[in-house]
Copies of this chain bind each other. A is one copy, B any other.
Amino acid sequence: MESYEVLRDLAIILFFAKFCGVLARKCKAPQVVGQIIAGLILGPCVLGLSSQTDFITQLAEVGVIILMFEVGLETDLKELLKTGPIAFLIACAGVFVPLVMGTLLYMGFYGAAPWGSESFYKAVFIGTIMTATSVSITVASLQELGKIKSKVGTTIVSAAIIDDVIGILVLTFVIGFKNPESKPGTVLLQTIAFFAVAIVGGYIVYKVFSTLDKRYPHTRRIPIVSLAFCFALSYIAEKYFGIADITGAYIAGVVLCSLSDNEYIERKSDVISYMFFGPIFFASIGLKTSFAAMNGKLFAFCICFVIVALGAKIIGCGLVGKACKFNFSDSLKIGVGMMTRGEVALIVSQKGLAAGLLTADYFTAVILLILVSSIATPIILKLLYVRDEKKSGVAA
């Protein structure tokens, strides 16, 4: 292949992904969905204008790392510690109920699998995909309603963040355990070792960056070296500890999230993400999605996957909310607020595909889940708040 051939793919993907992204937003769906659909249309499924070359695959991999780095950077550690225990309980329920229900759903469709077998991990992986709440869509919905600073609002946001952390831990374990040579004890030890190294090393790196930041605030070296640190930690995590590289990228973001130039780093990373790597990653999901194996059973599975994924969050988080003395309406809001899925679900699926825990056929289910949840959450939340206001209006 001539070196300039890659330019053709890049031009088509960037243009079409942005075009479909804007269209999606016009239809009140998230841009991400438009970009995935752009990939679907360009890919072998429909037009066949573009295909998944090695270069695009590797760019998408770099794109995922940068996206997870950004999720880490957006973490508000103080807020996380403040809302503490209740958010933690809700997050636990928000991870484990979908995890168990997703696993059972897969077994219901494809037969129960013995503990530790290959198909057991495949089932658990379907549950794992269901765990990650999308902080961004939840936050955007609550901001639009002016409820982000309410008790329900801060609880949802903190729970969504903790949810991400636990979800990534679960992913780390599932991928670690799946390796036939690995023993549960080793995986556990490696995970603990990684986090110990990440905490100690992260603290040192944080101190170095703080000093750099005070000396040279708002200079280009800060975001560039941050990005290099993110790539380095991602590599070290996967190479030396068997931890998913995206976990490393996320932790790199968390390490730097309290820097005074945090926002500056995030802004610069965001530009390379939305200008180039983001559209390529999301479109590559579409390029990879295959309808070849679509049949009645898989279609039914996709529908059930979406229903279970949404229901599990509402039930799990809502019940814990109720147990923590929120009233019925607020508990329901917490459940609905926690049910959105976004980038992280795709990133986890992508990781599963690479690890052989998932086939591309299931991407359809994940895309459908993101689409339905992102459209339904803002609408349902709005209805719940409007009903409450009417009630309190009548009561007053």
Contact = CB atoms under 8 A, between A and B. Distances in A.
A181 interface: no
A4 B276 CA distance: 19
B272 A271 contact: yes
Contact of A231 (B14, B225, B238, B274): B14
Contacts of A275: 220, 223-224, 227, 268-269, 271-272
Contact of A65 (B7, B231, B245): B7
Nearest 5 pairs of A and B residues by beta carbon? A11-B231, A15-B228, A11-B232, A14-B228, A7-B235
A233 B2 CA distance: 16
A279 interface: yes
26 contacts: A3-B57, A3-B354, A4-B245, A5-B235, A7-B62, A7-B65, A7-B235, A7-B238, A8-B231, A8-B232, A10-B62, A11-B229, A11-B230, A11-B232, A14-B225, A14-B231, A18-B220, A223-B275, A224-B274, A224-B279, A268-B275, A269-B275, A271-B271, A271-B272, A271-B275, A272-B276
Contacts of A268: 271, 275
Contacts of A22: 221
Interface residues on A, range: 35 or more
A204 B235 CA distance: 46
A179 B276 CA distance: 34
A15 B232 contact: yes
A224 to B, nearest CB: 5
Interface of A: 2-8, 10-12, 14-15, 18, 22, 54-55, 57-58, 61-62, 65, 220-221, 223-225, 227-232, 234-235, 238-239, 245, 268-269, 271-272, 274-276, 279, 354
A151 B225 CA distance: 41
In this complex, which of A5, A55, A223, A235 has the most chain B Cβ atoms within 10 angstroms of its Cβ?
A235
Given A15-B232, A54-B54, A228-B14, A274 B4 contact: no
Contacts of A4: 61, 234-235, 238-239, 245
Contacts of A229: 11, 15
Contacts of A221: 18, 22
A294 B279 CA distance: 44
B231 A7 contact: yes
Nearest to A57: B3
Contact of A18 (B5, B224, B276): B224
A23 to B, nearest CB: 11
Given A268-B275, A275-B272, A276-B272, A235 B8 contact: yes
Contacts of A271: 268, 271-272, 275
